[in-house]
Homo-oligomer: A and B are copies of this chain.
Amino acid sequence: MKTPVSALVLAAGQGSRFRSSSNKVLHPVLGTSPLSLVLDAVRGAKPEKTYVVVGYQKEAVMAEAASRGIEFVRQKEPNGTGGAVIAAKNVLARRAGDVLIVPADMPLIRTANLKALLSYHRKKGNAASVLSAVVEDPSGFGRVVRLPGSGRIHIVEEPDASRRVRDILEVNTSVYVFKIKDLLSALPNISAKNKKGEVYLTDAVGILSDLGKKVGVLKMSYPEDAVQVNTRFDLSVAAHALRLRKVLALGESGVSVLDPLSTWIDLDVKIGRDTVVYPGVVLERGTTVGSDCRIYPGAHLVSTRVGNGVRILSATVAEDAIIEDGVSVGPFARLRSGTVLRAGSRVGNFVEMKNTDFGRKSKAGHLSYLGNSEVGEGVNIGAGTITCNFDGVRKSRTVIEDGAFIGSGTELIAPVKVGRGAYVAAGSVITKDVSPDALAVSRVRQVEKKDWARRKREKKDRKRRPNR
């Protein structure tokens, strides 16, 4: 039988170098947060129970971690990682077996890293196992010190390190597995007697080792997985790594992201095979894209569902929209919340839609605003069509039935309905419903004043010439 394992995620710190009004583990990154990424990785290691130690902005942290069956532990003082574990000692005392401890500001950690440490820990029968990394520049990190002769292992924080210890390139990643019983036995002996006056969890490792307990260190193959984010710049670097992982995975599933460096795809975005994503595209918050699509440069889609064979032209912006199969939209189109472009429809440049159901094979090619509208199939919306859906008091609906033709430069004063197959002449202001198959027009006779323009120019020229 496997030893049971619990997980303890440390999320109490302030992250002061973020200079933020929000806890650093909650900062958005590719549609998620460092905390959620760590909790995802931890979940993959299948702990029986996960605890999150909270402190700074605990309500917000708890909200982010909610609905995951997690229990929260409050760390009252910001007194270091040791303090965090001491705060959890009562809940740990109730659990058998091992505890996996992971900081919440480690957005690149993978389940595989955690499983490797757990399996190493069990195989060796350790009391404590530390995940370490060999890095080029160890400054700032606790060093893994193997005491000569004795085989004992200490972790020495940089401010307390001798020059010789500072030369060690193997550092503590701050990910551990402990036998809970041993960890609890060590806690009373760790103290804040060090240069920074914090309570270091790392002391527990040395204490157990000095007591002759078995302590081991597992070196990571890819130390970058264990990077902790201390600044917003660190987080942008981690985001970069996560994006490359995402693009790599998309590539393996048949999606072409032409320029991974300038493309931003949230981790929860799904894209179908043979779709091509051009440079400078941003896909956010659960957007899904079907297969055989082209997403051209600078498109920005948020929470939008895109079908198959769709062409999203340059710089198109959509939020909470649905774009069905075979649609072509953009460039410079803007689809707002509640827009549905039905299959095969075409939307062109400088067109905005909001709360509009735009029918199959209908077209709105240029410079139009359709709001609160229901547009049937095969409708042609001329350039410069505007649904006047707000009269200063209330919003009303516009209905345009199948096969209608709306001439250019038309205002449709809602509530209004244009019947099936009707034709609205260009330049009309439509205030009343239009019968099916009828022509509606509100237009003034064109008159001409001969030579008016010539005379105007001559007058202007005379003015320019000074009287002499």
Contacts and interface: CB of A to CB of B under 8 A. Distances in A.
Interface string A67-94: 0000000000000000000000000000
Interface in A245-279: 247-248, 250-262, 264, 273-274, 276, 278-279
A96 interface: no
A402 interface: no
Nearest to A280: B280
Nearest to A249: B233
Nearest to A423: B453
A134 interface: no
A12 B86 CA distance: 64
A356 interface: no
A388 B409 contact: yes
B411 A437 contact: no
Contacts of A178: none
A422 interface: yes
Contact of A392 (B423, B441, B447): B423
Contacts of A349: 317, 334, 350, 352
Contacts of A413: 426-427
Contact of A441 (B253, B254, B313, B449): B449
30 contacts: A19-B254, A22-B274, A232-B251, A232-B257, A236-B251, A236-B259, A236-B260, A262-B280, A280-B297, A297-B298, A298-B298, A300-B314, A300-B315, A300-B331, A315-B315, A350-B350, A350-B367, A352-B366, A352-B367, A384-B411, A388-B426, A392-B423, A405-B453, A413-B427, A421-B454, A426-B429, A434-B448, A438-B449, A439-B449, A441-B448
Given A297-B264, A426-B388, A432-B446, A256 B232 contact: yes
Given A233-B260, A315-B317, A427-B429, 14 more contacts: A18-B254, A27-B256, A233-B247, A240-B261, A262-B264, A264-B278, A282-B314, A298-B315, A332-B334, A350-B352, A383-B386, A409-B409, A432-B446, A439-B456
Which 4 pairs across A and B sit closest by C-beta, in order of nearness?
A19-B254, A439-B452, A427-B429, A232-B251
A124 interface: no
B451 A442 contact: no
Give the residue among A20, A21, A456 with the most B Cβ atoms within 10 A.
A456
B427 A411 contact: yes
Interface string A290-323: 0000001110100000000000011101000000
A238 to B, nearest CB: 11
Nearest to A233: B251
Nearest to A255: B232
Interface in A11-34: 17-22, 27-28
Contacts of A426: 386, 388, 411, 413, 429
A193 interface: no
A233 B251 CA distance: 5
A259 B266 CA distance: 13
Contacts of A460: 393
A462 interface: no
A411 B233 CA distance: 49
B369 A386 contact: no
Contacts of A282: 278-280, 297, 314
A191 interface: no
